[in-house]
Chain A
Amino acid sequence: MDIILITGFSLSYADGTEGLKNITLGIPANQITVMLGPAGGGKSTLMRAINRLNDLADVISMTGSIIVDGLDVNDPKTNLVELRRKVGMVFARPVPLPLSIRQNITYGLEVAGITDKNRLEAVVEQTLKDAVLWDEVKDRLDSPGVALSGGQQQRLCLARTLALDPRVILLDEPTSGLDPISTAKIEDSLQLLKKRYTIVLAPHSVQQASRTADFAAFFLQGELIETARGKDLFTMPKDKRTQDYVEGRFG
């Protein structure tokens, strides 16, 4: 079952760049969908289109449609706050908010009006465990989020996204700045999390893509070149350009 339906979607930036060209793509629920491709392919642009974070960038035109769990993303009547709670996002560079570890996690719930102390405490513990960070920080929940190492910060960012209990989690090269051990920890937690969430990942390497993909989509210069179930995109790519990329001949 596809939880996200993207149909004939195109997007242009104010400087004239065509970020996405006529993308049609269904993203299956409770699986890890990997979006890969060389720099400038449009992976980040598409992710930011799904939760309307592009509203903060210089986008001049969008056509086509994106439906997330029945919600028409670009409908002017859509409640963006609700959409962003449904679609969480983890960015390439971990950015803890200038708050404590605990407050970083409760932030999304607090702005949603949830103030029940016991509930917030429970969420803090549960999400930190889900993000494999609890044991490392349980004794210093009130110290600032930035005091953590890069790898810990990224897991904090994942935990904070989980706190909103979204339907979909977008991860845009979440391990690009991390060491192999932190990377493995994040990949491990994704395997557990896909039981409860739909995961969309822009991997930082073809290796990571093939390790994690249940479904894969290859992007090149704003176009969707091909998609495939499981590891098929890596073992038997249909398009010459996909093959060149997964075999490391450009990118």
Chain B
Amino acid sequence: MSSGRTNSETKRITQQVGFGLLGFIATLTVLPIIVVVGYMIQKGAPAISWEFISGFPADGMRAGGILPAILGTLYLTLGTAVFSVPLGIGAAIYLAEYAPENGWTRAIRVAITNLAGIPSVVYGLFGLGIFVLFLKLGTSILAASLTLSIMTLPVIISTSEEALRAVPNSFRVVSTSLGATRWQTVRRIILPQSLPGIITGVILGLERAAGETAPILFTGAAFFLPNLPGSPLDATMALPYHLFVISTQVPGMPVQIQYGTALVLLSFVLVMNIIASVIRSRARARRLW
């Protein structure tokens, strides 16, 4: 009897130690994030002002604001969305709902997985070759958006496909038995049910596009422009590239502006992330299965 109690006592303590250890490790992994964000806020916050957000760079970018870079990143993100969202969701619907399970489909999936692993600078070179030079789009918002789209597609396709597949198959069977065509089933039942997952995937993909420097380096990003871009065929400034430029290419750069720019970029990405989590948790609460 008493040995049994000791035994369960020992088990309990072991378990507590185990949980404590796991909790500690979990804390360790989020610690760098907290430190990075905290450090950025501490260093960058003093630079943030209305002028900084809404003004043009002045004095060889050593003063003034970063409006062209903020707007540029916004344009590039929207441009990327225009191409990658319909294409990515369309491909995911095809793969999840229509494609027969055969070698060809498997090959497509392997290709998508591998595309996701290609270094972003390779996408940049590809974009330079295809969009800037071959299609003669020049270094432009259009060429950069297309390049970013190709980089973003694998993320959007695989997360959307996963979201579509998570919808129970019984809904497809029932909908079909009620005389719905495959497309009616997808549009009326499967898509609405998987939309939160798809939106999360889209935002994660676009977030990556918003933060990348390499793919836009040769395809659409400009060192400095006195005017805002007037059309999709103009080059643009962008936050990640601007940050790279003012951190490495401009002598006598006030550190404050560097951290301020980094903080703005970080907030941009963070806000997208928060929107994604809100959508996800809202949808989970409302889900009917």
Interface residues of A (CB under 8 A from B): 51, 53, 55-56, 81-82, 84-85, 88-89, 91, 93, 95, 97-98, 107-108, 111-112, 144-146, 157, 160-161, 164
Contact = CB atoms under 8 A, between A and B. Distances in A.
A97 B188 CA distance: 10
Chain A interface main SS type: helix
B171 A98 contact: yes
Contact of B288 (A85, A98, A161): A98
A111 B189 contact: no
Q: Most chain-B CB neighbours within 10 Å: which of A82, A98, A107, A145?
A: A98
The 9 residue pairs across chains A and B that have the minimum distance between CB atoms: A108-B178, A98-B288, A111-B180, A95-B170, A85-B179, A84-B179, A89-B177, A111-B184, A81-B179
Nearest to A147: B288
A55 B100 CA distance: 12
B13 interface: no
A164 B179 contact: yes
Contacts of B174: 91, 95, 97, 157
The number of chain B residues touching the other chain, given as a range, is: 20 to 34
Contacts of B170: 91, 93, 95
Given A98-B193, A98-B289, A112 B179 contact: yes
A146 B179 CA distance: 21
23 contacts: A53-B177, A56-B172, A81-B180, A81-B181, A84-B176, A84-B177, A84-B179, A91-B174, A95-B170, A95-B174, A97-B175, A97-B189, A98-B189, A98-B192, A98-B193, A98-B288, A107-B180, A107-B188, A108-B180, A111-B181, A157-B174, A164-B178, A164-B179
A144 B179 CA distance: 21
A124 B230 CA distance: 56
Nearest to A55: B176
